[in-house]
Amino acid sequence: MFEEKYVLLHLQEFKNIARLSYVRFNCTELKAASIEVSTGNNQRYVKLSRFCITAKERSFYTFKVKATNDAHIALMSADDDTKPLYEIVLGGWGNSKSCLRTRKQSSCKSTHQGGVVSGTTYKSFWVSWINSRITVGLEDIVDQNAVMEYYHATPYSVNFFAVMTGWGSTGHWIFKNDVSCNLETYNNTGIVENNTECHGTTKYECDVGYYLHTGNLQRTCSLNKKWLEEPPICKRCMCPCSLTGQQTINSTRELEEKITQIKKELKVNKKSTNAFLRKKISAPDFRPSSVRIGYICGYGILISVVSVILISDVPRLYRHIWFGID
């Protein structure tokens, strides 16, 4: 009986560990594989730059969307839906027609009849913009199942994306997560926190015996897989670095602010010095007798000091002249 309970307990423990490992693995894979975006029934575009997704260095893009009707995606020249853009309407007019436009809410340049979106199932699409031709297709294989196409003689540059729903529909979008930054490592520097996701922060620290010379110990992943802030440069301490492990300054800007603060704290208040106070409580004495006494005392002290120094060296000078020794 005891052995049976022992086996059952360990079996349950193994199941718990396996379950947790499975959940962690799947969450990690899901986070790494896709970015999910929701849009409301408000006819307002959501910029994908918020999720670090841009059209830079792309000529096509694939995505999935779940919406009952009117799923819009804008291919924008600037990160602003009031600027020149291509507007693609998927399942407009009650999911009866799709439309490709060269301006927001303008007339259709190309259309497709029939329903293409669903409120219960994710549907895949692709869009491409190359050689002045805008093309929209079904599924996720580019250049297959094209349903709309338009040749624009004066094409806009495509740099940013935005998505929108409305007219009685909300939207759930899935985009491939290919925007994470590459982890960077540096000499004499360790990684405290590793987050390479969009807007994620990676934190560093200088190794023991090293200090931050310029750059930053904290960097943020931003658009186009670029890290914000300058990379850290840790140099060996020339003197004992007893506080290296307690480094709390993360950037050059913070270091400059700290130095400015210390300067303010160490700044001498001239009004509290003895020289300033003496001027307030005493007046200069310009009488000839006082001036002469001052000169006599000053020169007397100076001559006395010099004389003492010279007299102390006379025996050594004498021995050197006569005997050639010190």
Q: Do 198 and 283 lie in a common domain? A: no
CA 127 centroid distance within chain:
30
Q: Do 304 and 261 lie in a common domain? A: no
287 compared with 231, residue with greater pLDDT = 231
Residue 268 has pLDDT above 70, yes or no: no
Q: Do 230 and 165 lie in a common domain? A: no
- What pLDDT does 291 receive? 58
| CA-to-CA dists, residue 272 to 117, 207, 227, angstroms | 79, 43, 49
Residue 75 lies in a domain: yes
Residue 15 has pLDDT above 90, yes or no: no
226: tokens are 């670029």
The band of 71, judged by pLDDT with boundaries at 50, 70 and 90, is very high
Residue 15 lies in a domain: no
54 compared with 325, residue with greater pLDDT = 54
Q: Do 205 and 160 lie in a common domain? A: no
Residue 7 lies in a domain: no
The whole-angstrom separation of Cα 142 and Cα 176 is 14
What is the chain's Cα-based Rg?
38
Segment (H or E) for 284 = none
Residue ranges in 36-117 assigned as alpha helix (H): 92-95
Q: Do 130 and 103 lie in a common domain? A: yes
Q: Which residue has the tokens 């050059």?
A: 252
Q: 166-205: per-residue pLDDT in tens?
A: 999 999 999 999 999 999 999 999 999 999 998 999 999 9
183: tokens are 């982890």
Looking only at the bridges linking them, the beta strands covering 46-47 and 71-76 are unpaired
Return the closest-CA partner of residue 234 out of 302, 296, 186: 186
Q: Do 49 and 143 lie in a common domain? A: yes
Q: Which domain holds residue 69?
A: 33-176
Residue 85 has pLDDT above 50, yes or no: yes
* Residue 256, domain CATH: 2.10.70
Q: How many domains does the chain have?
A: 3
Q: Do 168 and 231 lie in a common domain? A: no
The band of 145, judged by pLDDT with boundaries at 50, 70 and 90, is very high
Q: Do 219 and 302 lie in a common domain? A: no
- What pLDDT does 282 receive? 63
Determine the residue type at 311: I
70: CB partners within 8 A, 6+ apart: 89, 90, 91, 92, 165, 166, 167, 168, 169
Residue 164 has pLDDT above 60, yes or no: yes
